[in-house]
Amino acid sequence: MEKHSIPKATLGRVPIYLRYLRDLPDESGATISATKIARGVLLGEVQVRKDLAFISGSGKPRVGYERSKLIYDLESCLGSDSLTNAVLVGAGKLGRALLDYDGFEEFGVRIVAGFDCNDEVLRVSKGKLVLPIEDIEMFCTDNDIKIGIITVGQGSAQEVCDKLVACGIKAIWNFAPCTLSVPSTVLLRQEKLALSLAHLNSQIKNN
Amino acid sequence: MEKHSIPKATLGRVPIYLRYLRDLPDESGATISATKIARGVLLGEVQVRKDLAFISGSGKPRVGYERSKLIYDLESCLGSDSLTNAVLVGAGKLGRALLDYDGFEEFGVRIVAGFDCNDEVLRVSKGKLVLPIEDIEMFCTDNDIKIGIITVGQGSAQEVCDKLVACGIKAIWNFAPCTLSVPSTVLLRQEKLALSLAHLNSQIKNN
pLDDT in tens, B7-25: 878 887 888 898 889 888 8
DSSP codes joined into one string, B32-95: E-HHHHHHHHT--HHHHHHHHHHHH-PPBTTTBEEHHHHHHHHHHHHTTTSPEEEEEE--SHHH
A205 chain-B contacts, CB cut-off 8 A: 3, 79, 84
What fold, for A3-78?
Answer: Arc Repressor Mutant, subunit A (1.10.10)
| Ranges under pLDDT 70 in chain A | 1-5, 80-81, 119-126, 206-207
Nearest to A59, CA basis, from A3, A97, A17: A17
Q: Do A189 and B196 touch (CB under 8 A)?
A: yes
- Tell whether B62 is within 8 A of chain A (Cβ): no
Residues 6+ apart with CB under 8 A from A90: A114, A115, A116, A150, A151, A152, A153, A160, A176
Nearest to B127, CA basis, from B143, B140, B110: B110
Instruction: Give the model's pLDDT for residue A122.
Output: 60
Backbone dihedral angles phi then psi of residue A132, each to the nearest 5 degrees: -70, 145
* Strand, helix or coil for residue A174: strand
Instruction: Sheet with B145-150: list strands edge to edge.
Output: B123-125, B128-132, B109-116, B84-89, B145-150, B171-174, B187-190
CB-CB contact of A150 with A174 (8 Å)? yes
Instruction: Give this prediction's pTM.
Output: 0.73
pLDDT tens-digit map of B52-91: 998 898 888 888 999 989 998 888 887 766 789 999 999 9
Is residue B143 over pLDDT 90?
yes
- Residue A190 to residue A174: CA distance in whole angstroms: 5
Task: Indicate the residue of A84, A201, A202 with minimum beta-carbon distance to B204.
Answer: A84
Mode of pairing for the β-strands spanning B109-116 and B84-89: parallel
Nearest to A195, CA basis, from B175, B59, B78: B78
Q: Is A102 exposed, middle or buried (0-12, 13-18, 19+ CB in 10 A)?
A: exposed
Q: What is the CATH code of the structural domain delimited by A84-196?
A: 3.40.50.720
pLDDT tens-digit map of A26-43: 788 899 999 999 999 889
Is residue B149 over pLDDT 50?
yes
Is residue B1 over pLDDT 60?
no
- Residue A29 to residue A45: CA distance in whole angstroms: 20
- Residue A153 to residue A151: CA distance in whole angstroms: 7
Name the residue ranges covered by the structural domains of chain A: 3-78, 84-196
Chain A residue at shortest CA distance from B102? A194
B120 pLDDT band (50/70/90 cuts)? low
- Residue B176 to residue A144: CA distance in whole angstroms: 30
CB-CB contact of A165 with A186 (8 Å)? yes
**CB-CB neighbours of A120 under 10 Å:** 7
- Residue A166 to residue A138: CA distance in whole angstroms: 11
Q: Do A93 and B96 touch (CB under 8 A)?
A: yes
B116 pLDDT band (50/70/90 cuts)? very high
CA of B191 vs chain A CAs: smallest distance (Å): 8
- For CA atoms A198, A204, A205, B4, give the dihedral sign: positive
Ramachandran bin of B169, using left for φ above 0, alpha for ψ from -120 to 50, beta for the remaining angles: beta
More confident residue, B159 or B118: B159
Which residues numbered 121-150 in B keep a CB inside 8 Å of some CB on A?
146-147
Nearest to B32, CA basis, from B6, B60, B67: B67
Range B181-190 average pLDDT: 94
Is residue B5 over pLDDT 90?
no
Which residues numbered 162-201 in B keep a CB inside 8 Å of some CB on A?
170-171, 173, 177, 187, 189, 191-201
In the predicted model, what is the mean pLDDT of chain B?
A: 87
CA of B61 vs chain A CAs: smallest distance (Å): 30
Task: Indicate the residue of B12, B100, B194 with minimum beta-carbon distance to A192.
Answer: B12
* Strand, helix or coil for residue A2: coil
Backbone dihedral angles phi then psi of residue B5, each to the nearest 5 degrees: -85, -5
Chain B residue at shortest CA distance from A80? B198
